Copies of this chain bind each other. A is one copy, B any other.
């Protein structure tokens, strides 16, 4: 009987209860989630969309999100959008077809994705810089201020020419912050000190190669993500440039992987667990009284790539 397995909504006599339990055991009964989902119109499954789970930033987030979701009784389905609009839309449809109860999305770029999300009515949270125009709830840190903080730290090390490794796509806050910080100092040199690449090791590697392999190279760079910084470090080594002596680096994410590079990266620390926790709350909490946009605190994790800790 349903009442005993679900402890309600109405009481059951102890004797009957035991009898039912015994029968369940006997018949090796397993509740059928599909039937339950059909009846309740809830699947207890959440979708997690990311550009690429291979990026430590996303895999570390996925780990925490899955743990927390599990504790709350939810399973999580993953979707890789692969920096590709068509794939993004297709994967979203797949999630929607499975009737997930909510979707946490990193890096949506397609207009159609936003429309699909809105028209489907699933609860959604974006972890990217506020998608205000669409009224989609979000949980983020202040990318603009974080980037300014990173650049100011580099300036504290007396760097004048600070380059940018930016991400392809529209992480506008980060590149805008760099522009605002360096524009007044670099003037006409500004555009020459920015290079762009995918959010991947390879993207960071090639962008850094272009930025550093020339005489007027910057003495420091702000790299938009840890994963790009891994590629940047490799590029510096190939060019026989010492980090931080020849080029100082500050990056963005605060992955645990960034603590194990040579040298360890100074990086903007995103509060993963809090982000995950807030996402989950917005996706699953029945009370609907949340703020639309939540901005969490970040800080600068100071290690060696900026020049602070010359020892290994």
The 3 closest A-B pairs by CB, nearest first: A34-B37, A59-B59, A34-B38
Complex contact A230–B205 (CB within 8 A): no
A60 at interface (Cβ–Cβ under 8 A)?
Answer: yes
Give CA–CA (A243, B124) in the complex, Å: 47
Chain B residues positioned under 8 Å from A62 (CB to CB): 53, 78
How far is A257 from B229 in the complex, measured between Cα atoms in Å?
12
Chain A residues 235-266 with CB under 8 Å of chain B are 237-238, 240, 256-257, 259-264
Instruction: For chain A, give the interface size range.
Output: 35 or more
Q: Quick check: which of A63-71, A134-142, A163-171, A290-298 contacts chain B, the rest being far away?
A: A63-71
Number of copies: 2
Q: Measured between alpha carbons, how far is A134 from B35 in the docked complex, in Å? A: 31
- Assuming the contacts A30-B96, A53-B62, A234-B262, asked whether A77 and B79 have C-beta atoms less than 8 A apart, the reply is no
> Is A80 in the interface zone, CB < 8 Å from B?
yes
Contacts of A37 in B (CB 8 A): 34
Q: Is A157 an interface residue (CB 8 A)?
A: no
Contact of A240 among B66, B119, B312 (CB under 8 A): B312
CA distance A37 to B23 in the complex (A): 26
CB within 8 Å of B: which A82-106 residues? 82, 90-91, 94-99
Task: Give the Cβ gap from A209 to chain B, nearest Cβ, in Å.
Answer: 13
Question: Quick one: which of B32, B53, B77, B262 contacts A261, CB cutoff 8 A?
Answer: B262
A56 at the interface (CB under 8 A from B): yes
Q: Which of A207-245 contact B (CB under 8 A)?
A: 230-231, 233-234, 237-238, 240
Residues of B within 8 A of A94 (CB): 70, 75
- Cα–Cα distance between A70 and B77 once the two chains are bound (Å): 11
A43 to B33, CA, bound (A): 10
CB–CB B99/A33 < 8 A: yes
* Chain B residue nearest to A60 in the complex (CB): B54
Interface membership of A201, Cβ < 8 A: yes
Contact check, B233 vs A262: say whether CB atoms are below 8 A apart.
yes
Give Cα A95–Cα B60 distance, bound, in whole angstroms. Answer: 21
